[in-house]
């Protein structure tokens, strides 16, 4: 029997619903249950693929090619369960499907309305592909009281009534702020937030109260009394030094026990939390430190690189070192030639993905610095393309080398991809077609060259599968000329048409990849490339 846990948020945004949902999934998983997590987003975009990182943060890509909310990255990192297209639905996607069905005559001439047609669709996608799971945890995006969230709240209210209390549970995350001038924690915002939920017919059974200090017993009883829940169901959600300490904190406060109690399941025994504690211990007491310069264009909003930052942390965990990230706006290298000195003391340089021409010359300069100074270098997606352009310009003598993404150029070392294969199918895109969902998305195979660094990094694997999100590719016609100057193409698509990985055999550690390895890294299983990159940085720092 599948049970559904609905996680909502109130008072303000960014309280940590995604981490709360992921932590609960991890706790239930540690008790031996099979879990799945999914996210309902209230915005009208079909998916976040066309949204600016400054608007939405990172776009997380699944194996099956869905562009999704960054919270799905937390779900995968905490539980190891691979997300799919079925696990992230937006208002735009819901409405698109309903409107398309109406155009096909699916509703037999009936008037299509929010209730029941939109809410029925929401209930349908919540329950889709859930057979065999003990728990499905559904996070509802946005803040209770926002008009955008109302169809989702109505849908989960209806679904809970249909499932009954033995198969449904509402968890509400709120804020309990501390007012320094009064010297008190204030419960009124939580009371009002629950009142908003009650106004749409939802009574939460568990409250997660975000706070920066312990909530006194009398305040917890007050919250329980006014919000109509058991005092034991008022769970403090403390600020944590690391997101990987959150599952431990929630367990200590009794979250998993309250969930099991609600469903009438056994709460005897303790979940296996040893691996979480080992991760936290390594983060809190590292044996050394390395500094990695991340040279990008969205460094003012670090959510744009959420999975990247976590994957670098995982690499540090693998070597028991702290990874200090120096976020460098690539444009500074274009405006100030002396700015390159900022890279003098770092132990590794990473150039991440991105779109558009702004900041590209600075990224190329960062690549050149890493190559000439023999600093460990890691280029991801756009970063790999910049590494190829740098080699073409500064080593192969192709001064006009560039990407057609920025306009016509003399040497199109990087060009628009309009056709590729996925399994036995050929996918095609037009240069003037829609932007949304038209990139090479999802997991694709790559074959690794023998006696290459990258094959060693992947523990001898001859073929790998990694997740992509890009529209432009390195032009394979330049492969021979670039290999003549020392840039080895060590990973290729199975048909040999698409370069996937480049490296420099004459460099301590220099790898560029066309895919996004950060999307598959987990604290218990750091991605091989991040483990290898941080290992090279450790050697660079002479900590080993």
* C-alpha dihedral, 173 to 246 to 129 to 63, nearest 10°: 120
Active site (annotated) includes residue 516: yes
Q: How far is CA 82 from each of CA 211, 313, 329, 352, 468, rounded to the nearest angstrom?
A: 31, 20, 32, 23, 15
Q: Which residues contact 301 (CB under 8 A, 6 or more apart)?
A: 53, 54, 57
DSSP 8-state assignment for residue 394: H
* C-alpha dihedral, 209 to 215 to 221 to 227, nearest 10°: -20
The whole-angstrom separation of Cα 171 and Cα 235 is 10
- What is the dihedral sign for C-alpha 25, 30, 31, 36? positive
Largest CA distance in the chain: 75
Q: Which of 74, 314, 507, 516 is catalytic?
A: 516
Buried b (16+ CB within 10 A) or exposed e, 512-532: bbbbbbbbbbebeebbbbbbb
Contact 297, 330 (CB under 8 A): yes
Q: How far is CA 103 from each of CA 75, 98, 124, 171, 436, rounded to the nearest angstrom?
A: 35, 9, 19, 37, 22
Q: Residue 137 is inside which H or E element, if any?
A: strand 135-140
Which of 385, 392, 328, 390 is CA-nearest to residue 354?
A: 385
The whole-angstrom separation of Cα 539 and Cα 505 is 17
Measured in whole angstroms, the distance separating CA 345 from the mean position of its chain's CA atoms is 29
Q: Which of 154, 196, 253, 518 is catalytic?
A: 518
The whole-angstrom separation of Cα 444 and Cα 421 is 9
The strand pairing partners of 380, in sequence order, are 513
Contact 135, 163 (CB under 8 A): no
Active site (annotated) includes residue 465: no
Q: Which residues contact 54 (CB under 8 A, 6 or more apart)?
A: 298, 300, 301, 304
How many C-beta neighbours within 10 Å does residue 278 have?
13
- What is the dihedral sign for C-alpha 508, 513, 518, 520? negative
Q: Which of 172, 381, 390, 527 is catalytic?
A: 381
Active site (annotated) includes residue 209: no
DSSP 8-state assignment for residue 522: B
What are the catalytic residues?
381, 516, 518
């Amino acid at each position: 029997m599948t049970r559904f846990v609905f996680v909502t948020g109130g008072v303000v945004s960014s309280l940590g619903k995604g981490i709360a949902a992921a932590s609960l999934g991890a706790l239930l998983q540690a008790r031996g249950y099979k879990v799945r997590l999914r996210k309902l987003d209230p915005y009208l975009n079909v998916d976040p693929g066309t949204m600016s990182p400054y608007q939405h943060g990172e776009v997380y890509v699944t194996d099956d090619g869905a562009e999704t909310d960054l919270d799905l990255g937390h779900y995968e990192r905490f539980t190891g369960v691979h997300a799919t297209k079925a696990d992230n639905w937006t208002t735009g996607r819901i409405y698109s499907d309903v409107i398309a069905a109406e155009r096909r005559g699916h509703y037999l001439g009936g008037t299509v309305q929010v209730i029941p047609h939109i809410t029925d669709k929401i209930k349908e996608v919540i329950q889709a592909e859930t057979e065999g799971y003990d728990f499905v945890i559904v996070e509802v995006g946005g803040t209770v009281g926002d008009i955008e969230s109302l169809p989702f709240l109505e849908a989960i209210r209806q679904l809970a009534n249909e499932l009954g209390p033995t198969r449904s549970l509402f968890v509400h995350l709120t804020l309990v702020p501390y007012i320094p001038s009064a010297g008190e924690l204030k419960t009124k915002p939580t009371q009002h937030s629950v009142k908003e939920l009650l106004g749409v017919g939802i009574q939460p059974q568990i409250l997660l109260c975000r706070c920066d200090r312990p909530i006194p017993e009398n305040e917890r009883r007050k919250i329980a009394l006014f919000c109509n829940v058991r005092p034991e169901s008022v769970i403090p959600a403390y600020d944590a030094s690391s997101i990987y300490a959150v599952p431990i904190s929630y367990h200590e406060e009794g979250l998993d026990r309250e969930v099991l109690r609600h469903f009438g399941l056994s709460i005897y025994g303790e979940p296996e939390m040893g691996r979480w504690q080992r991760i936290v211990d390594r983060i809190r007491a590292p044996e050394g430190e390395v500094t990695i310069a991340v040279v990008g264009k969205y460094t003012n909003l670090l959510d744009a690189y959420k999975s990247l930052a976590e994957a670098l942390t995982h690499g540090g965990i693998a070597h028991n070192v702290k990874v200090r990230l120096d976020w460098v706006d690539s444009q500074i290298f274009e405006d100030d030639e002396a700015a390159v000195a900022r890279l003098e003391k770092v132990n590794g340089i990473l150039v991440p993905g991105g779109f558009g021409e702004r900041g590209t010359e600075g990224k190329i300069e960062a690549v050149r610095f890493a190559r000439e100074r023999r600093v460990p270098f890691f280029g991801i997606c756009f970063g790999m393309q910049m590494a190829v352009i740098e080699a073409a310009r500064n080593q192969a003598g192709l001064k006009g080398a560039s990407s057609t993404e920025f306009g016509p150029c003399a040497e199109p070392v990087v060009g628009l991809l309009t056709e590729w294969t996925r399994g036995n199918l050929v996918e095609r895109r037009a240069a003037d077609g829609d932007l949304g969902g038209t990139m090479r998305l999802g997991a694709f195979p790559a074959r690794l060259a023998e006696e290459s660094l990258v094959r060693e990094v992947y523990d001898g694997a001859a073929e790998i599968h990694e997740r992509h999100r890009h529209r432009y590719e390195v032009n394979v016609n330049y492969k021979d000329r670039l290999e003549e100057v020392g840039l080895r193409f060590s990973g290729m698509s199975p048909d040999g048409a698409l370069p996937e990985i480049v490296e420099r055999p004459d460099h301590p550690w220099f790898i560029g990849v066309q895919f996004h390895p950060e999307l598959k890294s987990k604290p218990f299983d750091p991605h091989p490339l991040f483990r290898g990159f941080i290992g090279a940085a450790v050697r660079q720092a002479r900590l080993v």
